[in-house]
Amino acid sequence: MIRLLDRTLTTLEYGNGAITGNALLELASLLTRAGADWIELPLEAYCLMGAIPDGVKAILRIHHSREASDYPNFDYYITKSKEADEAKPLINEIQVNDVKEIELLKRYQHLRYVCITGLDDMLLSSYPNEMKRLLDIFGRNVWFCPEDDCHCATALAVEWLARGGRNVAVSFMGRGGYAAFEEVILSARIALRQKMGVDLTLLPRIQEIISQMASVQVAPNKAVLGSRIFTVESGVHADGLIKNPTIYEPYPPQSVGKERRIVLGKHSGRVAIKVKAREQGVELCDQKAGLLLEKVRAWSIEMKRGITESEFLILLKEVAGNEG
């Protein structure tokens, strides 16, 4: 059983009025329903929220262990203070910037719970051995929060879970330089057969709430969330998708709240042309489909983009005349 700690709320900038308690309450609930086992809250967020929503398990970020007594409603507290406090469920966050430092972590072996943050370069080393060393030192009560400076944070989080680690810390879209929540959850599903029951159709709504609270730019091809990841033009891929979507899709678009779209352009093929024509009630023979394909490609090359629905209708009329 794997456990995800989501740190998205700690990556927001508070105090500028853009963030409301209600939005945070909804965000924490949605992240939980989408697969987060724990939500890390900074004090600013908790003060705005006033309470922890039903069904949400929260971890409060504090500066010193003594602050925990002021906020007694939490199962865990997370701090960078490196205090050993047997009376409180304190997760000590330790920043480790280089795999060579792992050996030195033995001095923290007495701490009950730790979160190891950093190790962005771990994939350049023999990472299975390094992960094993971390588990040997701290046992299973260790959270791993890989950072993304080497663009490998998601991969490290997934490998950690595949190699006996139980807890990882992530953030939505990898905000703050961590592994991306949505990528780790989906990888857990596809590669590890875990998190099968969570509702990933909530991801677009989560993205929307965060974009209302912070300046967020999502590339159109961003893994899992991008607006165009299920838009297909190439003939080979469109043909395969029409026959059986699993040929070219790693997971169904609907499972993450998206839709597949087949568009036409320079790289289209005859099958997609026929399907698009059929959608307009026109059955094309091979010869006419070939002719229309030539026109679509020429138009796309001339316009330097894919062709729009209305442009397709014009070209279809030219080729098919009054057929259909």
Partner 1 sequence: MKAKRFIVDTTLRDGEQSAGIVFTIDEKVRLAALMDQCGIYQIEAGIPAVGRVEKEAIYRIMSTRKKARISAWNRMSTEDIRHSMECSPDIIHIGVPVSYVQIYTKLKKNKRWLENELMRCVDMANSAGFDVTVGFEDASRADISFMTNLIKRLEAYRVLYIRFADTVGVLTPGRTADSVKNILEYTDMAMEIHVHNDLGMAVANSLEAAKSGALYVDCTLNGIGERAGNCDFQKFVSVGERIFDFGIDKAASQELLQEFSSILRMEMMA
Interface residues with partner 1 (CB under 8 A) are 121, 123-124, 127-128, 150-152, 154-156, 158-159, 162-163, 174, 180, 183, 186-187, 190-191, 221-224, 226, 228-234, 236-237, 239-240, 243-244, 246-250, 261, 263, 265-267, 294, 297, 300-301, 303-306
Nearer to partner 1, 93 or 120 (CB): 120
Instruction: Please say whether the dihedral angle defined by the alpha carbons of residues 174, 176, 178 and 184, taken in this order, is positive or negative.
Output: negative
Nearer to partner 1, 114 or 256 (CB): 256
State the Cα–Cα distance between residues 157 and 165, nearest whole angstrom. Answer: 9
Look up residue 229 and give its DSSP letter: T
Minimum CB distance to partner 1, residue 153 (Å): 8
Which of 183, 186, 178, 175 shows the shortest CA–CA distance to 209?
A: 175
Minimum CB distance to partner 1, residue 312 (Å): 14
Nearer to partner 1, 42 or 226 (CB): 226
State the Cα–Cα distance between residues 13 and 44, nearest whole angstrom. Answer: 9
Minimum CB distance to partner 1, residue 293 (Å): 10
How many of the other CB atoms lie within 10 Å of CB of 87?
8
Minimum CB distance to partner 1, residue 284 (Å): 19
Nearer to partner 1, 58 or 235 (CB): 235
Nearer to partner 1, 40 or 183 (CB): 183
Minimum CB distance to partner 1, residue 170 (Å): 11
Contact in structure between 271 and 235 (CB atoms under 8 Å): yes
Minimum CB distance to partner 1, residue 200 (Å): 13
Instruction: Please say whether the dihedral angle defined by the alpha carbons of residues 17, 18, 20 and 24, taken in this order, is positive or negative.
Output: negative
DSSP string, 162-211: HTT--EEEEBGGGTTTB-BHHHHHHHHHHHH--STTS-GGGHHHHHHHHH
Nearer to partner 1, 95 or 246 (CB): 246
